[in-house]
Structures are given as structure tokens and as C-alpha cells.
Amino acid sequence: MPATTLENRAFIAIDGADAEDFLQGIITTDVPSIGTGEAYPGALLTPQGKIMFEFMIARSAGGFVIETDAAAGDALAKRLTLYKLRAKVTIAKRDAANVTIAWDQPSPPDAVRDMRFAKAGLDVFRAQGGSSDAPEAAYAALRIAHGISGGAEDGDATDYFPHDLMMDRNGGLNFKKGCYVGQEVVSRMQHRSTARRRLVVVSAEHALPATGTSIAIGGREIGALRTVEGMGGLAVVRIDKAGAAMAGGTPIMAGDQPVTLTLPAWSGVEFPASADEAAS
């Protein structure tokens, strides 16, 4: 029954009578649809539609709790406070903490189901605190195998739009809710089908190079590795370029070694066979 403990996480409690409406008006997630015992991915965007902060959000006894990387905790709490205005909410950052993640077992006490994995048909649970001797590499391998990104677990995401990280597919981005920061841009991307960068699973015959290494075709970069564990990794790439290369038999490289790119099956996204198809 695997379990992994991630350190350096931050938790922000948003409590009060207006907590749900407050969050619904500023983040990408459809907050009212978050059920008890569930944790959804989410983001706070810039007005230009790019990710400013990325996190997981769950219901709590007094409202909601957001989990993100400890390095972003103070800045995210401050940004949320700027949007507070007259809303009847309290925003309190808890001390940096760890989170224990368990899978292939019943839900541990006080845990929430990670709904990113639920999209892939897996039961994965997150609980604040706790401890486990299993290496973080086991959880990284699980995420890579199923193409799961988000929750600030892959480092800085500020260069990306939500579509790039499959947030339109994993429950972190809703197109039926009202306005929120950056909503106009991401809605336009959705309705015009202009999302070209997507999260992919990267595999190779040998250990992949370090996170940040370019994914390239003929020396031209189409993306970069986000997370690496052995011969597998996650990257965000231009799927129109990658699809055309695959159709033409052109090698795709990570550093100096060829790699295979696959899209998560649960996402329903497919590689265009050519750049012309991607534009149609």
C-alpha cells in the first residue's frame, strides 16, 4: 500500500460566510462543485490568462483549504487578501507543512481524494501531515505514468496557460462559471481551439536529462521537461509540431537522446497529424 510524504507544502485556510462566492469569483476551479472529501486542481491567473499561482483546493469545516508549494504560500495568501475587499472571509496561512499521499488503499483518516487522478480512474488521497518512508520518486513515477500535472508539484508554472497543463481536462478549469481573473483569455482559447501547448508523457531508452531540458525537433525547441524520474518524465510541448514530426518520422529529442511523446489517454487530446490539421 504505497504512500509518499511531500515536504515543503503550504496550506492556506479561507473561511467565512462568503468563502465560496469569494473564491468562485477569482480562481479557475468551479468552487461550488467541490464535494466533501475531494481536492481539485486550481489556479489564480494574471489578467492575461497565464498562471500566477497553482494549487489544490478542498473543502474544510469552515470553508476551504488551499495546498501549494511552500515557496509560493506567502505570496498567494497576500494576493488572495488583496482581492478580499469587503467579503466576509478570513485568510490564514498555516506554517509550512508536509502532505502524505497514498494510493492503492482505502482513504486514510482526514484525507481527501485527489480528483486529478480520479480523471485517470485512480484512487489517490492527500492528507496534511503524516509521514511515510516511501521515496518521493514513487509518487513522481505515478504522476508521470498517468500524465498528471498540477498543484505546483512540477515547480514554477508562470510561463503557462491553464490549457498547457491540461487544466481544461483535469477539473481545474471551468467554462460555465461566471467571470474570474483571466477568464476572458482562457475562454477565448477554448472556444477558438487555439491551445497548441499540452502536457505530454516523455519516455526514453535511457535516463532522461534534467528538468528544464529542451524538447526539440531538428534543433528547434518545441517545449521543455517539467518533471523527470529515470527514463520517464512530463513535458509541455507544441503538439502541432510534435504531431507533424511523428507523422513524418522525424526524431524528437530531449538533449542528445531521442524520446517518445504520448498524451494522457484520460485527457481525450490527440496529436494533430500535421500543422495544417492543428490549424483547422
pLDDT of residue 278: 42
In the chain, where the domains are located: 3-160, 196-279
pLDDT of residue 150: 87
Please report the sign of the dihedral spanned by the C-alpha atoms of residue 155, residue 67, residue 87, residue 78. Answer: negative
Q: Report the topology of domain 3-160.
A: Gyrase A; domain 2 (3.30.1360)
Instruction: In whole angstroms, give the CA distance from residue 247 to residue 274.
Output: 7
Low-confidence spans in the chain with pLDDT less than 70: 1, 96, 274-280
Helix, strand, or coil (residue 272): coil
93, 71, 54, 189 alpha-carbon torsion, rounded to 10°: 140
pLDDT of residue 96: 66
pLDDT of residue 48: 96
59-90: per-residue pLDDT in tens?
A: 999 999 999 999 999 999 999 999 999 999 99
17-55: per-residue pLDDT in tens?
A: 999 999 999 999 999 999 999 999 999 999 999 999 999
How many CB atoms are located within 10 Å of the residue 186 CB?
24
pLDDT of residue 31: 98
Q: Which three cell numbers stand for residue 52?
A: 500566477
174, 175, 178, 181 alpha-carbon torsion, rounded to 10°: 70
How many CB atoms are located within 10 Å of the residue 188 CB?
11
Q: Where are the beta strands (DSSP E) in the chain?
A: 3-15, 38-45, 51-59, 63-69, 90-93, 97-103, 112-114, 124-128, 197-203, 214-217, 220-229, 232-238, 253-254, 257-258, 260-262
pTM of the model: 0.94
Q: Report the topology of domain 196-279.
A: Elongation Factor Tu (Ef-tu); domain 3 (2.40.30)
